[in-house]
Structure 1
């Protein structure tokens, strides 16, 4: 019985990165051997055990065979005679198909160390094509290791997988899981570059894929292309270390520009309303969690109004707060402002860049919201006890007055 550290821990150590988790492969053992040593079984599809002291995962070396479409259609085989090389060959990329023994020696039968030096993502074997999740994983790795490129033969293999319908077999929860993880990497645009290059994006997110090639007014968008703009926006969100709901809202906010009449291009009047339906469609299909869904829908609908905030009257601002439920959920409203800030800064072209431009709309609206929330709605309601139908109007008017006063004071400063 021999144990090895495998996968990401070996890769990250070779890259000089901190190692968070250790996965282990056990060669020459049976489930009974593991139980005898105090390991606790947790694997559903194949034997995986938790170490009795460290709680790290130890999987028996295994082989696998494809039996049905999609990523669940596999039969796994484990036995004491499965070799380390046989286990490693089923892994996705060469940089993930290395193992380190207790003495520090590395088993690298498929050239992972070479590909780390070359900064290349290369599939280990044709078994890569049997699991469509691997396309998503590779794209996610590209967002993390943004200086790596995809080997031409690997990109061609992924194109064949798309053409053969493997990507269509992905389940919504797994697509969302990988997209969410990729969005949280430091260069999320690289994930979408990879998905576009192999043709997977149009199958997974056709609403997003439609944005490339759609022009915007160069005066306001020096990058011109809407797809390029979206990538700049999500990279801005990553640079500013925004949380996942904000990053997803950034990704979704301009979907409406993909369906505005081409005769009106580069103008996109009304794209906010068009985008709401598309965002809802994406969120329903991918079963996006409620927090991310609601923020994305609100940002798609309101980002234009937030961008014009400095020109809005107090009454319009309070109506915006009411529409966004900002009095009950001020933190979510702030998240929308942060997403819209990234939208404003994600405009970079050959001749101009807004990457570090100020975004006074954020402080302006937060000042207004604080003032409006300071209104005592309960007190106003008590004063309308004899005419309760007037309560909403009176509360609204009081909030408008408070916002006017706050913004006047802001101007004076």
Structure 2
């Protein structure tokens, strides 16, 4: 094929990618609105949209009443992707569990599963993961299944599918993408789990969303990737904006020493401090909850906090003060204007209010008035859904 012909095909391909991306973000949307949004001619838009209608990817729907413009003549038709146009599997190999979803284009979870957290032994983990995927997919394997997205902690080379660094040493340096594809016979993409949570958030926000925002995630550690124009601002071989590894100077009994943020605020630290209080005869309400429920976890800690356990409240208030310092540092450095906060500890209004106060009091200049904190309602499967959204983007919208 001559260069001119190749150039024409590439132009058509890029136009189609732009059109698909615009439909996904704005649906339901008219052909005219698509042309206006991306600056292509209406005939170009119409040709591409009609092709996707014939392929069964799109469907025509009435424009919502609140978007109708009063005019004489036929009301404009809008288009959107059929929910079943593509399916994706998303998995988060998290610190507490391996959670998986089968999701459609709408972000609807068709099936989900939860297993124990990934085995320390890499080969055992991969084999268990393959069985979990097969069980989840079932008969959907023959449908419009794009592939499997996997989020896991650490530094990930998502282009090569390699786990460059991970808390589980046996996983480090492994070609997870290649190893899993051999077992399940479908495409696999991997990335850092918090990066995928941020990508999932931005893809699930149809219509208006901020152009730039920080995603502040609190779990066993703290991470804060930055999203700029729908992309995570860091290289493909990066982590997740590992703010948890920044150092904070702590003054304890007149002795000053440096500790990482993760050491000060991670869920492991919270549980350890609460356990010590109970052993010392304190945290009486938490002790009673643990005695009745038979375990100590973040669920029990937050329950004791809501029941006004003074020792638990004191521990969490100190923890959130440190989180506020970290969040203020992020805001004052990069001025994102918008921060999404995600984490189990922020399930209740008390901790959300404490974080607003702790961070807001340290915002510099106009940040105190102009930065919006949005607390994402916590859900255990957000990481898995983010991985599925990642597959929809990489293997459908960008193709």
When the two structures are superposed, what TM-score results if normalisation uses the length of structure 1?
0.28
Higher helix share: 1
Higher strand share: 2
Larger Rg: 1
